[in-house]
Amino acid sequence: MIRLDRYPREIVLRNGAGLVFRPMVPEDVDRLWTFFQSIPPEDKMFFRRDVNRRDVVQGFADALDYERVLPILALEGERVVGDATLHRRKSGWKRRVGVVRVQIAADYRHLGLGTAMVRELRHLGEKASLRYLMAEVIEEQAAAVRAFEKLGFERAAVYPDFVDDRKGEPHNLVVLLYRMSSAVDDMFC
């Protein structure tokens, strides 16, 4: 179990804006719904779930299980401006691999928030004794691929025409991996 006593945690972005990171709670459903409605449609084309549906966002709140999916919100006051999630399996052969997903409000991009949120997920991954973090990004999202690579993620694979967007068009999927420091220690035990 990951200890969450470090939250709420204050951060300052490059432009001097102060934000608070904390885990999502069920009462955040309205804030999260508003956040997802502000995401540009071209970004939502690649989402795994249809966040244009209120019941989908309500389902996120109703099914909160921090051991399976740990959502960390970035808040400016009461407004959600970033959502980062660490997805884990409780058992099985991929239980030591965490999948990271990050979404940033359009007006908070290029300010260091995405980087700060990925670093936060790396910290949580270390606390959960994960060996790897994995990010899956559509190849056309070149800025996201570069951002993960800048943070130490390495391209592990590119799957041609592997995923379809909401319009049914195929896209290449880039899989990026980050080897946790605990994974390096495991190699020498």
Work out whether strand 132-138 and strand 97-104 pair parallel, antiparallel, or are unpaired.
parallel
Please report the beta strands in the chain, taking only residues with DSSP state E, as ranges in sequence order.
Answer: 9-12, 18-23, 69-76, 79-87, 97-104, 132-138, 154-164, 170-179
**What is the mean pLDDT of the segment spanning 47-65?**
92
The residue type at 66: Y
User: What's the pLDDT score for residue 36?
Assistant: 96
**CB distance 47 to 102 below 8 Å:** no
Give the pLDDT band of residue 139 (cuts 50, 70, 90): very high
Q: What percent of the chain has pLDDT over 90?
A: 78
User: What's the pLDDT score for residue 183?
Assistant: 52
The residue type at 109: R
pLDDT tens by residue, 81-119: 999 999 999 889 899 999 999 999 999 999 999 999 999
Distance of alpha carbon 174 from alpha carbon 170, whole angstroms: 13
User: What's the pLDDT score for residue 48?
Assistant: 83
Q: What percent of the chain has pLDDT over 70?
A: 96
User: What's the pLDDT score for residue 80?
Assistant: 98
Distance of alpha carbon 157 from alpha carbon 32, whole angstroms: 32
Distance of alpha carbon 172 from the chain centroid: 19
H helical segments located in the chain:
29-38, 41-44, 54-62, 113-127, 142-150, 181-187
Distance of alpha carbon 182 from alpha carbon 81, whole angstroms: 31
Instruction: Report whether pLDDT(184) > 80.
Output: no
- Best CA proximity match to 74, nearest among 24, 124, 123, 34: 24
Instruction: Report whether pLDDT(40) > 70.
Output: yes
Angstrom distances, CA of residue 57 to CA of 62, 96, 118: 9, 27, 22
User: What's the pLDDT score for residue 5?
Assistant: 92
Homologous superfamily in CATH for domain 9-187:
Gcn5-related N-acetyltransferase (GNAT) (3.40.630.30)
**CB distance 136 to 99 below 8 Å:** yes
